[in-house]
Amino acid sequence: MKGEAQTDRDLLSRVPTLADTSPRKYNKRRRLIETFLAVGVPGSLIALWQLGFHYEWIDNRFYASPWEIVSSKELREAELWSEMWTSVQRMLKGFFAGSLLGVLLGVLMGVSRLLRAALDSLLTALYTVPKLALIPVFVTLFGFGDLPRIALIAVTVFFFVWISTMSAIMGVEDGYREAALSFGANKWQIFRHVLFPGALPQIFVGLRIAAGVAVLMLIGVELVLASDGLGALIEKGRTLFLPELTYVGIAFAALLGLSFTYLVRILGRVLLPWAPEDQTPNQN
C-alpha cells in the first residue's frame, strides 16, 4: 500500500492511493472484507466438513456432521441447556475467585520485593503442575460437590492472572512513579493513582487469556468428574455412542469460550478507554 507509482526508474513518486483520497470508502471496503473473512473462513470450514459427510470422506458412524449437530434432538431438550447453565455458573465462580486472588497476590508481589523473594519460586513451581492431576487432592479436600470443580478452575485462572498482574505492576514506567513521588504521594496514593491504573491494560490481557483457560479447565474437570455439565455431556455422548451429543457439547464449549473471552475484552475496552487496543480486528 505504498504510494510509490514508479513511472520511471529514476523517479520516486509519492501519490495518493484510494486510502488517502477517499478514506471513508476505503475503510468501509476494508471492514467489509474483514467481516467477510471473519464469517467466511469458519463458514467454509464447516461447509467442507458437511461436504466430507456428504461424499463419505468421513466415517458417519463415529463422527457427526454439522447438520446432524444443529438438527439433533438434544439441542431442543431442556437437558442440554441446564447442563450448559451448570457449566457457566461453575466457570464464572471459578474465574472470579481465581482472578481476584491472582490480582491481589500479583499486586502485592509486584510492589514488594520481599514477598517476591518469598513466593516467586514456589508459585512458579506450582504453576507448572498440571492442574488436572490435582483432582484427587481437591476431591479429598473439598468433597464431591461443586467445590472441587470450582476450585480447580480458580487455581488455573489464578496463575495466569497472578503472573500478568505482577509483571504489569513491575513494568509501570519509573517516570510515572517519580512524578507521583515528587508531589509527595504516599504508597497507597502511588498505587491507586499510578501503579494500578498503569498496570490495568496488561492485567486485562492476562484476564483474557485466563478466560479462555477457564473454559479449557471447566471441560477438563467435567470430563473427569463426569456427573453433570457440558464435559459430562461430551463424555456421555462417547459412552452411549451418540456422536452428535459429543459434538453438540464441543460446539457449545467453543461458543462459551468465544463469548466469554469477548466479554472480558469488551469489559476491558469499556473500563480502560485510554489503553491502546491490542491486536484486535476492530481497529477503525
Partner 1 sequence: MRKRSCKIEAREVEKVFSADSEDEVHALGPLDLQVQDGEFVCLVGPSGCGKSTFLRIVAGLLNPSTGRVDIRINPENPTPISMVFQDYGIYPWKTVEGNIRFGLEISGISKSRTKEVAGHWLERMDLTAFASSYPDTLSGGMRQRVAIARALAVEPEILLMDEPFAALDAQLRQLLQDELLAIWQKEQRTVLFVTHSLEEAIVLGDRVIVMSSRPGKIVLDQKVPFERPRSPELRAQSDFNEFKNELWLCLKGEVEHYLERVNSVEGKIGSNDEG
**Region near partner 1 per CB under 8 A, out of 8-16, 202-210, 252-260, 272-280:** 8-16
Q: From CA 81, how far away is CA 199, in angstroms rounded?
A: 38
Q: From CA 43, how far away is CA 45, in angstroms rounded?
A: 5
Q: From CA 184, how far away is CA 284, in angstroms rounded?
A: 40
- Which residues 144-183 are close enough to bind partner 1 by CB under 8 A? none
Residue 23 is a binding residue for partner 1 (CB under 8 A): yes
Residue 19 is a binding residue for partner 1 (CB under 8 A): yes
Residue 282 is a binding residue for partner 1 (CB under 8 A): no
Residue 6 burial class via C-beta count within 10 angstroms: exposed 0-12, middle 13-18, buried 19 and up:
exposed
Q: Which is nearer to partner 1, 56 or 174 (CB)?
A: 174
Which of 3, 40, 42, 143 is in the footprint of partner 1 by CB under 8 A? 3
Closest CA to 135 of 155, 118, 115, 116: 155
Q: Which is nearer to partner 1, 4 or 79 (CB)?
A: 4
Residue 35 is a binding residue for partner 1 (CB under 8 A): no
Question: How many residues in the shown chain lie near partner 1 by CB under 8 A?
Answer: 19
Residue 16 is a binding residue for partner 1 (CB under 8 A): yes
- Which residues 48-107 are close enough to bind partner 1 by CB under 8 A? none
Q: Which is nearer to partner 1, 21 or 259 (CB)?
A: 21
Residue 276 is a binding residue for partner 1 (CB under 8 A): no
Cβ atoms of 42 and 251 within 8 Å: the answer is no
Residue 24 is a binding residue for partner 1 (CB under 8 A): yes
User: What is the residue-wise DSSP string for 140-176?
Assistant: HHHTTSSHHHHHHHHHHHHHHHHHHHHHHHHHS-HHH
Residue 12 is a binding residue for partner 1 (CB under 8 A): yes
Residue 187 is a binding residue for partner 1 (CB under 8 A): no
Min CB(4)–partner 1 separation in Å: 6
Q: Which is nearer to partner 1, 13 or 89 (CB)?
A: 13
Phi, psi of 259 (to 5 degrees): -70, -35
Q: From CA 135, how far away is CA 220, in angstroms rounded?
A: 10
Q: From CA 53, how far away is CA 65, in angstroms rounded?
A: 6
| Contact footprint for partner 1 (CB under 8 A) | 2-4, 9-17, 19-21, 23-24, 27, 284
